[in-house]
């Protein structure tokens, strides 16, 4: 990746000694805080094994991060979820409480059940489903629109059940083709698109407040000049956080 991660691991770990490191959001949060610690990097063989298990290849920036910086730990919000190398379950340390094992999403299958997660990536990530979900929510059947009769009640129940089933489908389909890489708190998550035209870009999972999945944007990013200028890649997302964390942790008078 042209040295994009050169010195990054060292910069992150150095912040453990910074005077104001505890003021960086997510760094000092009990068992959930990352404390500016990083998991060991993975080998090429280990990365390939995890990719085979998940059924897709990691986007290049994220893949090189695992090889050069760490397989989880310090990062935006409460840090990056761990990606553990394949091996006997007894040899793998338990995941910290509140984290999501590699290859899963918050509401996904258990780590030992890999087939459902692999199937999640058979279709490309489709961010347009957020708009479809919004339109679907607006079309929620209302009882007042049905006749006040036994037949009208039956029609309402039938239509509402069909609407509700489709809502659940759309809600789940929103994160297909993504990897959940970080928790923001309050049931918000950060996703990395791993399939489709948006592969390699970062997204906020804000379904908890009914806003679907939306692209992450940083202040100062060019807008109105094409999709590429409106998207944030994994490296941009992580390095943007690191620069902010350094400013806050090292400042004599923190923000």
pLDDT tens digits for range 130-187: 999 999 999 999 999 999 999 999 999 999 999 999 999 999 999 999 999 999 999 9
Tell the residue number behind the tokens 């984290």, with chain if given.
99
Question: Which residues are CB-contacts of 237 (< 8 A; sequence separation ≥ 6)?
Answer: 76, 190, 202, 216, 218
- 205, 130 Cβ separation under 8 angstroms: no
Question: Which residues are CB-contacts of 53 (< 8 A; sequence separation ≥ 6)?
Answer: 86, 103, 114, 118
**Across all residues in the chain, what is the average pLDDT?**
84
| Nearest alpha carbon to residue 206 among 219, 196, 216, 197 | 216
pTM reported for the whole predicted model:
0.79
> Which CATH architecture best describes the domain 8-126+176-250?
3-Layer(aba) Sandwich (3.40)
**Confidence at residue 253, expressed as pLDDT on a 0 to 100 scale:** 61
Q: What gap in Å lies between CA 111 and CA 212, rounded to an integer? A: 25
Better pLDDT: 211 or 190: 190
Token pair for residue 29? Answer: 């949060």
**Confidence at residue 229, expressed as pLDDT on a 0 to 100 scale:** 56
Reported as a single tens digit per residue, the pLDDT across 8-43 is 999 999 999 999 999 999 999 787 899 999 999 999
- Residues paired with 191 in a beta bridge: 180, 203
- 10, 239 Cβ separation under 8 angstroms: no
Token pair for residue 95? Answer: 């995941």
pLDDT band at 233 (very low <50, low <70, confident <90, very high): very high
| Nearest alpha carbon to residue 31 among 234, 183, 134, 157 | 183
């Amino acid at each position: 990746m042209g040295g994009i991660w050169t010195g990054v691991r060292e910069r992150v770990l150095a912040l453990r000694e910074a005077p104001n490191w505890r003021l960086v959001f997510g760094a000092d949060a009990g068992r959930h805080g990352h404390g500016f610690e990083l998991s060991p990097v993975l080998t090429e063989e280990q990365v390939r094994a995890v990719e085979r298990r998940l059924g897709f290849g990691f986007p290049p920036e994220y893949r090189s991060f695992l090889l050069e910086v760490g397989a989880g730990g310090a990062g935006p919000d409460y840090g990056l979820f761990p990606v553990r190398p394949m091996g006997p379950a007894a040899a793998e340390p338990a995941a910290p409480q509140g984290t999501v094992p590699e290859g899963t999403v918050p509401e996904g299958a258990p780590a030992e059940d890999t087939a459902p997660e692999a199937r999640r990536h058979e279709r490309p990530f489709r961010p347009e489903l957020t708009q479809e979900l919004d339109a679907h929510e607006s079309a929620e059947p209302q009882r007042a629109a049905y006749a006040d009769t036994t037949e009208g009640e039956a029609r309402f129940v039938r239509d509402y059940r069909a609407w509700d089933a489709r809502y659940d489908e759309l809600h789940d389909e929103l994160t297909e083709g993504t990897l959940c890489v970080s928790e923001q708190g309050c049931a918000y998550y950060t996703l990395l698109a791993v399939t489709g035209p948006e592969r390699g870009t970062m997204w906020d999972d804000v379904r908890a407040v009914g806003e679907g999945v939306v692209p992450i944007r940083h202040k100062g990013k060019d807008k109105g000049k094409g999709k590429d200028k409106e998207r944030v890649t994994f490296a941009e997302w992580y390095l943007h956080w690191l620069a902010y964390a350094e400013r806050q942790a090292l400042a004599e008078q923190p923000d």
